[in-house]
Amino acid sequence: MFESLSNRLGEVFERLRKRGALNESDVDEALREVRIALLEADVSLPVVKKFIKGVREKAVGQEVLRSVTPGQMVIKIVHDHLVETLGAESVALNLSAVPPVAVMMVGLQGSGKTTSTAKIAKWLQTKERKKVLMASLDVQRPAAQEQLKVLGEQAGVATLPIVPGQMPVEIAKRAMQAARLQGMDVVLLDTAGRLHVDEALMAEIAAVKKVAEPQEILLVADALTGQDAVNVASRFHERVTLTGIMLTRIDGDGRGGAALSMRAVTGCPIKMLGTGEGLDDIEPFHPDRIASRILGMGDVVSLVEKAAETMEKEEADRLAAKVAKGRFDLEDLRDQLRQMQKMGGLEGMMGLLPGAQKVKKQMAAANIDPKLLSRQEAIINSMTPRERRNPKLINASRKRRIASGSGTSIPEVNRVLKQWKQMSVMMKKVKKLGKKGMMRAGLEGILPRM
């Protein structure tokens, strides 16, 4: 979601990087661009102003002027400042209290509270081995309590039985009581969506807070929120003293400005991210990684983690052994194509790699079809095992057969073969560079110049 922001900043920084010495007006010009980029990314105006002021103070000081590479220095300052604004370290959910520990979820209508509640519950139950009870206090929206019950069934998490007509404070009391009796570790309270200007409902969550004494009060907020993010976050914070933020819909193509704004006005850490529609699509928030991603420095750590999750261990080992020998055939290419698809396709991976922002843009400009991967796989599938192991065998008539077998065309088959050739050259390079070299040079070090 942070991609558009990183693209905008990328352009600014590209220009800066090329410059030798910078004077004050250079810095100002760059910061004006940064400002617009942040505003277009929906970072709230007051937050942008404060951010720019902070960066400017550092940038115009001696730090930059004395630096050998002033452009790089400005980028570093912006990066550091971003990390600072987003929070330097990830903060986990705080559940250290006498069980049952209450966690209350608040937020606007439609921000994703109920789904997030179920996600956190499942996450706590499977990853942290907690016994979790969920209760919906939403008596406003039709069928909201039903929704949590169904999600509970899907996630395998206990939900408080629904008593029709009961009011939120009563439900909260009953939930805490039930949790005590059943020896639960955590009680998740899903409250009704409310506008932060709705006094009656805000009073209601204050009352629930009194009854349940939650250890965590999480504001569930939509990552697509615009300038209003500051108002929402600060009003909720004033009223119930938030302890953290869960950002949802982070898998959209929004620019994530809301994350910056909310963190900045409340000082509350962003603790969790909702990354998809499935109940497992939840991640802890890593500010440093996100800041890097915003600035197009790549998020190698996330990529490696993701790779580790999706890549079958043996397969990876097998590939590594082959690479070590400098051998790489079309079967390996197919394995790789499959892995890439599992990891969210070309685009998903590119977003995480350092130096890949530019490549990605070129890909978009060249109109590369997202289905490319599966078509390429089909081409390889249409080859005989012998052809896959020894691509040199493939002559014109074999190409014709492969093309018709996979429903593609001969030029496309040629492209796969060319790609394999480039890849095998690349694999030899990687072998020479070693693992460290690859990390340092990033993708640009190994990809053919586009």
Among 11, 29, 170, 228, binds other proteins (CB under 8 A): 228
Among 197, 301, 364, 425, binds other proteins (CB under 8 A): 197
> In the 8-state DSSP scheme, what is residue 278?
S
Tokens of 68: 């050998």
Q: Per rule CB under 8 A, is residue 67 in the interface with other proteins?
A: no
Alpha carbons within 13 angstroms on the beta-carbon side of residue 9 total: 27
Phi, psi of 134 (to 5 degrees): -110, 145
Tokens of 28: 């100002």
> Could you tell me whether strands 186-190 and 132-136 are parallel, antiparallel, or unpaired per DSSP bridges?
parallel
By beta-carbon proximity to other proteins, the closer residue of 142 and 411 is 142
Among 156, 252, 267, 437, binds other proteins (CB under 8 A): 252
Q: Per rule CB under 8 A, is residue 168 in the interface with other proteins?
A: no
Q: Per rule CB under 8 A, is residue 144 in the interface with other proteins?
A: yes
Q: Per rule CB under 8 A, is residue 140 in the interface with other proteins?
A: yes
The least distance separating other proteins from the CB of residue 108, rounded to whole angstroms, comes to 6
Cα–Cα distances (Å) from 197 to 194, 267, 337, in that order, read 8, 21, 50
Among 27, 186, 232, 417, binds other proteins (CB under 8 A): 232
Q: Per rule CB under 8 A, is residue 349 in the interface with other proteins?
A: no
Q: Per rule CB under 8 A, is residue 226 in the interface with other proteins?
A: yes
Q: Per rule CB under 8 A, is residue 72 in the interface with other proteins?
A: no
Strand partners for 248: 222
Among 72, 90, 126, 227, binds other proteins (CB under 8 A): 227
Interatomic CA distance for residues 12 and 294, integer angstroms:
13
Q: Residue 317 class from Cβ within 10 Å (0-12 exposed, 13-18 middle, 19+ buried)?
A: exposed
The least distance separating other proteins from the CB of residue 3, rounded to whole angstroms, comes to 10
Q: Per rule CB under 8 A, is residue 231 in the interface with other proteins?
A: yes
Phi-psi group of 193: left, alpha or beta (phi > 0 → left; psi -120 to 50 → alpha; rest → beta): beta
Tokens of 247: 């950002």
Contacts of other proteins in 11-40 (CB under 8 A): 36, 39-40
How many CB atoms within 10 Å of residue 136? 29
Q: Per rule CB under 8 A, is residue 370 in the interface with other proteins?
A: yes
Tell me which residue has tokens 């990684």.
Answer: 289
Among 12, 134, 189, 258, binds other proteins (CB under 8 A): 258
Tokens of 130: 């907690």
Among 100, 112, 269, 354, binds other proteins (CB under 8 A): 112
The least distance separating other proteins from the CB of residue 87, rounded to whole angstroms, comes to 21
By beta-carbon proximity to other proteins, the closer residue of 70 and 193 is 193
Alpha carbons within 13 angstroms on the beta-carbon side of residue 84 total: 11
Q: By CB under 8 A, which span of 141-149, 165-173, 317-325, 416-424 interacts with other proteins? A: 141-149
The least distance separating other proteins from the CB of residue 311, rounded to whole angstroms, comes to 23
Tokens of 161: 């039985």
Among 26, 222, 288, 332, binds other proteins (CB under 8 A): 222
Mention every residue, 6+ apart, whose C-beta is less than 8 A from residue 392.
none
DSSP helix/strand/coil, 236: helix
Interface ranges with other proteins (CB under 8 A): 36, 39-42, 44-45, 108-112, 114-115, 140-144, 146-151, 154, 195-197, 222, 224-229, 231-232, 235, 249, 251-255, 257-258, 277, 370
